[in-house]
Amino acid sequence: MSVEGNNERIILLTNDDGYYSTGFEALINIARGFGRVIAVAPETGNSGMSHAITIKVPLRIRKLEEREGITIYACNGTPADCIKIAMNQILDRKPDLVLSGVNHGSNSSISLMYSGTMAGAIEGCLNGCPSVGVSLLDYSRNADFSASVEYGKTVVKHVVDKGLPLGTCLNVNIPIGKIEEIKGIKVCRQTKGRWVEEFDKRTDPRGSDYYWLTGYYVNDEPTSEDTDEWALNNGYVSVVPITIDLTNYQLIDSLASDLE
């Protein structure tokens, strides 16, 4: 089932909204001008799955479509599963680029920790591939992805031309608005923020309680102008370089002096 890439650039795509989503077609439009596109996306929505992988049931993949320069597969797993199985079973070599998205909703600030979209990009990064996750802040069914395609191409071209350091991927978020309304790109840092979680308690007809997770986001540094939240709230595309090394290097020496 492997795909022979020859010398052509191979771009591996996934998302967390499912292969049928409008955002995934937008991602294909971003990628198609840069090489051969192999797209492997979940059969169902996987929002909020973070970096979950499937180990209790078998994974299955099926080819959905093949057209000039583009092959699309569906997988019954998570975004991370999609990247893993594509590299192991579909491709015969490492892809030159991994893209994930375009997500229907924001993945800025702390949301990237919960994001299936960013997990797809991070999985590519873990495998040594330049990787980018792209999200649009619009949650509406009829969201306009044209700005996502335009700015997505700009970021991807930079990555193709300049590369990324090993162990680093990009988290790209697009504000709501027409292309001409967006002010440009801000390369920035992740905002310190948090989700205040609430559970809506209900009772089913049999008298058993159940819960729906709800909540709201709190920006812990609303006046900081070097963050992704500030950029997005002020009409800019935010680009945050993300590292997969979670070590707090500043704490190592003092912690070692206390514990070793």
Q: What percent of the chain has pLDDT over 90?
A: 91
Question: Which residue from 104, 101, 50 is spatially nearest to 78, judged by alpha carbons?
Answer: 50
Predicted confidence at residue 84, as pLDDT, reads 98
In the predicted model, what is the mean pLDDT of the chain?
95
Q: How confident is the model at residue 145 (pLDDT cuts 50, 70, 90)?
A: very high
User: What dihedral angle (degrees, nearest 10) is formed by the CA atoms of 100, 105, 108, 110?
Assistant: -100
Q: Is residue 6 predicted with pLDDT exceeding 90?
A: no
Residues making up the chain, counted from first to last: 260
> Tens of pLDDT along 99-126?
999 999 999 999 999 999 999 999 999 9
Distance from the Cα of residue 177 to its chain's centroid: 20
Please give the structure tokens belonging to residue 213. Answer: 């997770």
Report pLDDT digits (tens) over 25-77: 999 999 999 999 999 999 998 988 899 999 999 999 999 999 999 999 999 99
CB 170 within 8 A of CB 163: no
115 Cβ contact list (under 8 Å, min separation 6)? 16, 47, 48, 50, 103, 107, 133, 135
pLDDT band at 141 (very low <50, low <70, confident <90, very high): confident
Neighbours of 148 (CB within 10 A): 28
Q: 10-190+224-245, superfamily in CATH? A: Survival protein SurE-like phosphatase/nucleotidase (3.40.1210.10)
* H or E element that contains 186: strand 184-187
What percent of the chain is modeled with pLDDT above 70? Answer: 97
Does 2 have pLDDT greater than 80? no
Mean pLDDT across 148-175: 98
User: How much is the pLDDT for 140?
Assistant: 87
Those residues with Cβ within 8 angstroms of residue 259's Cβ, 6 or more apart along the chain or in another chain = none
| 220 has pLDDT over 90 | yes
Report the alpha-carbon distance of residue 130 to residue 40 in Å, rounded: 17
Which pLDDT does position 17 carry in this prediction? 93
- Residue 222, token pair as written in the block: 């609303």
Per-residue confidence at 5, pLDDT binned at 50, 70, 90? low
Q: What is the pLDDT of residue 4?
A: 52
Predicted confidence (pLDDT) at residue 3 exceeds the cutoff of 70: no
Contacts of 184 (CB under 8 A, 6+ apart): 236, 237
Q: Strand 168-174: give its sheet, edge to edge.
A: 61-67, 70-75, 36-42, 10-14, 97-104, 131-136, 168-174, 236-243, 184-187
pLDDT at 119: 97
Please report the pLDDT score of residue 164 as a whole number.
98
